Amino acid sequence: MLLVLLAIGLIYGAYDRPELFAQYIIIGVANGALIALIALGYTLVYGIVELINFAHGEVFMMGAYFALTVVATTGVTTEKGWLILAAAAILALLGSMVFSSAINWGIDRVAYRRLRHAPRLAPLICAIGFSFILQQMAVYWKGGNPLSPPALIPSEYRAYNILQEWFGLETRIRIRPLDLAVVLITIPLLILLQWFIQRTRTGKAMRATAQDRDAAALMGIDVNRAISIAFIVGGALAGAAGMIAVYYINSARPGMGFRYGLYAFTAAVVGGIGNLNGAVIGGFIIGIAWSLSDGFLKTYPGGHFSWWGAQWTPALIFGLLVVTMVFRPSGILGETTAEKV
């Protein structure tokens, strides 16, 4: 009911203040890309071992810290040429992808794999345990306070509007280089993932394992290896998201994995857990809902929502989760015949 009201308010708002609306959509898309990357990790792992990897948000957080560390270690500053800056960014991206995938792989190898035949609750509790362990490791490593990453984007480009500067549009809608970068990193990763899962031998082995583990083993597929790869790929995507997040929100803190993790988990469920395309769609839905709720909703319609603010965002997002669970428990794309992992 509330959601319907919100939707009406939004449509009215979009009609009334299109530029502002578009602006929040842009922010939402960038946020959504980030959430989608994390959500894919939940869905990949769930698809293959039916485990909600509650430590996944923290794997993402560790990626954020590692990205920040890599950039700090290279010592680049924004006075350097853009090539060097780009190289540092790519290094940090790859570094955090490797780092997070190693953590995710390690957790599975050390713990979950031993619990493969245990009751479902055992690995789940174990995952929650790892989530705390990783948070505390981050506190020990970098302290509990938020850290800002070393700048990679020269200050004059931070507020630079691509629409105006490149296309000469007279508009108040702003797309910053940062917004563009988020999408430019995410899209190739999504395409690469799709190709990997759908076309490669290893990807097909993972899909087979997800569908029927014993039958896959009978085909000569090393099931444990296929599962490890799911953790590695999921971890790599979380690491990439970590790198993006640390620059997009310009800070990292040990608790950051909690909120992003929960939102991404919600995105995976809303999209249909186990379904890769679903995770991406869910990610964008949650990202946009988040952005609109944080900034746009309170402005419309006619001030009736003036009490709305960022404090209501979790309620809205988990409201989406509840609505999904009630009306479409298998998620948007989660039909029985849908293409899972």
Residues that bind another protein (CB under 8 A): 201, 204-205, 207-208, 211-212, 214-223, 337-340
Tokens 């608790």 map to which residue?
Answer: 255
DSSP 131-186: HHHHHHHHHHHH-SS-BPPPP-S-HHHHS--HHHHHH----S----HHHHHHHHHH
Helix (H, G, I), strand (E, B) or coil at 275: coil
Determine the distance from the C-alpha atom of residue 135 to the mean position of all C-alpha atoms in its chain, rounded to a whole number: 18
Closest by alpha carbon to 240, among 60, 29, 26?
A: 60
Nearest CB to another protein, comparing residues 165 and 222: 222
Q: What are residue 147's DSSP bridge partners?
A: 252
What minimum distance in Å lies between the beta carbon of 221 and another protein?
6
Termini Cα distance of the chain? 34
Nearest CB to another protein, comparing residues 19 and 222: 222
What minimum distance in Å lies between the beta carbon of 205 and another protein?
6
What minimum distance in Å lies between the beta carbon of 335 and another protein?
11
Specify whether the CB–CB gap between 234 and 296 falls below 8 A. no
Specify whether the CB–CB gap between 63 and 136 falls below 8 A. no
* Angle formed at CA 158 by CA 156 and CA 163, multiple of 5 degrees: 100
Q: Which residues contact 6 (CB under 8 A, 6 or more apart)?
A: 297, 316
Nearest CB to another protein, comparing residues 295 and 331: 331
Task: Give CA–CA dist 179/191, Å, rounded.
Answer: 19
Nearest CB to another protein, comparing residues 86 and 215: 215
Nearest CB to another protein, comparing residues 19 and 212: 212
Would you state the structure tokens that stand for residue 73, as one six-digit string?
């270690």
Nearest CB to another protein, comparing residues 174 and 204: 204
Nearest CB to another protein, comparing residues 53 and 209: 209
What minimum distance in Å lies between the beta carbon of 117 and another protein?
11
Specify whether the CB–CB gap between 43 and 279 falls below 8 A. yes
